Chain A
């Protein structure tokens, strides 16, 4: 397994354009998270999938952001009508949770290298 892959690694776009990021998680992992990180800050939670179901979306996320995870495999994060404030590193992470009550495995997130977005 090659870990969590994200594409593209860098994206420069003009304000108002749409951008899409792709994440391929570790194949055995059933949980997938998107985080956003700006310089000097910790990762900020955006949204979460358990298999193909999107179970939570941050209240801070505007309607311009949408994420999908068809068939519970790869995921895409789309930002419509980008704004300069969207410039950040977008991180994808995956983890595995068993069906039991033990959540410990779910706390070990494996992050991808991120997709850096610059909005001009």
Chain B
């Protein structure tokens, strides 16, 4: 089977830094992605790691360690608008390369 583990909820204050972890056990692995979903909205792509290391995109960074089956999303200089659910997703590779999503982490940013 496939499993992706994330914390269910995280709370932080504006301006702070927060890290959302993801550990995975999947039948295949081509890369780890992160998606953001605001309440009532569609998931939107944030970042993607195929290789070990850190990828930085503005205030967001994502890290992958394939040997540990582990990754994280780092959000810096938190803003109220960052309050949302964050999902890690594993691309399984192969012909379909479908994404398997975790259960999501609800981030609440407080003033």
User: What residues on A are CB-neighbors of B33 within 8 Å?
Assistant: 107-108
Most A CB atoms within 10 A — which of B95, B99, B102? B99
Measured CB to CB, the closest approach of chain B to A101, in angstroms, equals: 11
- B30, B87, B89, B104: the one contacting A103 at CB < 8 Å is B30
> Which residue from chain B places its CB closest to the CB of A106 in the assembled complex?
B97
**8 A Cβ contacts from B26-83 to A:** 30-31, 33, 35, 41-45, 48, 50
In the complex, which residues of chain B have a beta carbon less than 8 angstroms from the beta carbon of A91? 42-43
Query: Which residues of chain A have C-beta atoms less than 8 A from B50's C-beta?
Result: 104, 107
**Interface range on chain B (Cβ under 8 Å from partner):** 20 to 34
Q: Are B42 and A56 in contact (CB under 8 A)?
A: no
Q: How far is the CA of A111 from the CA of B37 in the complex (A)?
A: 10
Min CB–CB distance B77 → chain A (angstroms)? 24
B103 touches A42 (CB 8 A): yes
Q: Which residues of A contact B44 (CB under 8 A)?
A: 111
Report if B91 contacts A (CB, 8 A).
Answer: yes
* Alpha-carbon distance between A108 and B30 when the two chains are bound, in angstroms: 13
Report the Cα distance A113→B95, complex, angstroms: 26
Q: How far is the CB of A37 from chain B (nearest CB, A)?
A: 8
Contact (Cβ within 8 A) A103 B91 = yes
**Count of A interface residues, CB-CB < 8 Å:** 26
Q: Which residue of A lies closest to B2 (CB)?
A: A45
Task: Say whether, besides A103-B91, A104-B50, A108-B48, A40 and B42 are in contact (CB < 8 Å).
Answer: no
Is the Cβ of A104 less than 8 Å from the Cβ of B31? yes
How far is the CB of A96 from the nearest CB of chain B, in Å?
Answer: 12
From 44 to 67 in chain A, residues with beta carbon under 8 angstroms from any chain B beta carbon are: 44-45, 48, 55-56
Shortest Cβ gap from A60 to chain B (Å): 11
Contacts from B to A (Cβ < 8 Å): 4, 30-31, 33, 35, 41-45, 48, 50, 87, 89, 91, 93, 95-104
